Amino acid sequence: EVEALLKQIALAKQKELRLRVEKKRIRDELGQLQAVGGHYTGTLWSREEQTQKQLVEVRRAKEQLQTQKQAEEEKFAKLSDNLKEQELKFRKRVTSPFQQTAATVVAQRNEGSNQTDNADTLLQVTVPVVADGKHESMSQLLPPGTCSLAVFRFSKN
């Protein structure tokens, strides 16, 4: 029995030595793969990390541009509203030559009304028109041979 046990011990030692050699060989191969593969893996990771950083930067820039665009649109809308409001105020303040003439005609009509209540009145009115910054009469703006007579018919009702 002792010889059988010694044989088993010798076989176990040989098996252990073979396993140690195999383990060392596998470790060496793994080390080589990690050295070579680790370089590529590291490069891939750094490229991936760089790509992710670029994506984050692009997203931030996009968000900033959207925020800036929205602010500009709001600013433009406010300016547009202010401009419309100023235009309305200006139009209320400034009367056109036609409005001035109509007011004058109505005032003259009310002052010297010695005609009958249902009588029609024909008036010739020269309406001043602003052209190139100076007052001109309507007849100066019309082509030759055309009439500048404006007829207003008023009737009292």
Name, in order, each residue with C-beta under 8 angstroms of 130's C-beta and a sequence gap of 6 or more.
Answer: 97, 136
Alpha-helical runs (H) found in 94-137: 97-111
pLDDT digits (tens, 9 = 90+) for 6-44: 999 999 999 999 999 999 999 998 888 777 765 555 566
Query: Radius of gyration (Cα) for the chain, nearest Å?
Result: 51
The CA distances from residue 50 to 37, 39, 110, in Å, are 20, 16, 86
Q: How confident is the model over 47-58, as a mean pLDDT?
A: 86
pLDDT at 131: 46
What pTM was computed for the model?
0.33
H/E stretch holding 136: strand 134-137
Distance of CA 67 to the CA centre of its chain: 9
Q: pLDDT tens, 67-115?
A: 999 999 999 999 999 989 988 888 777 666 776 776 676 666 666 555 5
